[in-house]
Amino acid sequence: MADTAAPAMPRRLWQAAAAAGLIAFAIAALLSGTDRQSREFPNAPSVIGWPYDTGAARSRAISAFVQNGPKSAIAFARRAILSDPISAQPISLLGRSQLYAGQAQEARKTFEVAGQLGWRDGMTQIYWLDQALQVGDIKVAAERLDALLRQSPLDENRDRFLAIVSATPEGRAAIAQRLKAVPAWVGVYVNDVKDLPVEQLAQRADVVLRTGRGVWPCSASANITQKLIDSNMLPEAQAVWRGNCSTSNSLAFDGGFDQLDTT
């Protein structure tokens, strides 16, 4: 009897261990699934405090930032970094929380780390763009703005940042230099001008002229040329069109603008 029970005991222990392993695996899969879901749906149920909770911790940090203020987001952002220490996004989130909480020195150190991990994070770009503007380094400001718009040509801050950097001739020259490389935002620069105030429109016209031919086809100049005409800026409209179109296609060659609406 005892001899029969003895082999059964190891089998029971093995079965119990296997069951525990399956339960642990199922729990880990559930936690991982909810964590991934929280990255797309921040309000979805999620758990923090386990080794791979970066999505949940990041979502909690964002929610805390919005609902309770930046200082309350710092602990969650730090937790997200522990789960994903080589990603720039949670580090950037920590830097933003520190910055808006008034911890300028800590934020600078954090964004230095985020920058070392790569420049594919928008907030990191915006931070160093602002820092360059504060010290008057227009060239670096234009580089950071270029990098931001390459990632997100429709960024909600695009026109505001472009206006700030383009406020001086040096800034417009720096933007023109970046546009010569034909980045992803080159099209929206001349096409998305409908709501621009006159001052910003004049800045863009100057940048287009500084950039020169070869960046935009003649047809791409139509929107900004029409906006210049509508704003009663005919000399600028003529210059922009002539600068991007051959003589045979130039609307301004005879001053008639036959192909555009001048009424």
CATH number for the domain including 36? 1.25.40.10
As a whole number, mean pLDDT of residues 17-22 equals: 48
Q: Does 128 fall in a domain?
A: no
As a whole number, mean pLDDT of residues 89-93 equals: 88
Q: Does 89 fall in a domain?
A: yes
> Where residue 120 falls among pLDDT bands split at 50, 70, 90?
confident
> Where residue 241 falls among pLDDT bands split at 50, 70, 90?
very high
pTM of the model: 0.72
pLDDT given at position 155: 93
Written as one string, the DSSP assignment of 202-240 is HHHHHHHHHH-TTSS-GGGGHHHHHHHHHTT-HHHHHHH
Q: Does 92 fall in a domain?
A: yes
Q: Does 71 fall in a domain?
A: yes
Greatest pairwise CA separation for the chain in angstroms: 112
Q: Does 86 fall in a domain?
A: yes
Q: Does 97 fall in a domain?
A: yes
Among the ranges given (72-86, 194-208, 230-244), the one the predictor scored with the smallest mean pLDDT: 72-86
Compute the distance between CA of residue 121 and CA of residue 21 in angstroms, rounded to an integer.
38
Q: Does 12 fall in a domain?
A: no
47 against 138, higher pLDDT: 138
pLDDT given at position 221: 92
> Cβ contacts of residue 24 below 8 Å, gap of 6+?
none
Compute the distance between CA of residue 169 and CA of residue 148 in angstroms, rounded to an integer.
21
What's the alpha-carbon Rg for the chain, to the nearest Å?
28
The number of domains in the chain is 1
Written as one string, the DSSP assignment of 87-128 is -HHHHHHHHHHHHHTT-HHHHHHHHHHHHHT-S--HHHHHHH
19 against 28, higher pLDDT: 19
Compute the distance between CA of residue 200 and CA of residue 190 in angstroms, rounded to an integer.
12
As a whole number, mean pLDDT of residues 35-63 equals: 57
CB atoms within 10 A of CB 172: 24
> Is the confidence at residue 22, as pLDDT, over 60?
no
Q: Does 10 fall in a domain?
A: no
> Is the confidence at residue 48, as pLDDT, over 70?
no
68 against 46, higher pLDDT: 68
Residue 85, classed as helix, strand or coil, is coil
Q: Which domain holds residue 71?
A: 22-118
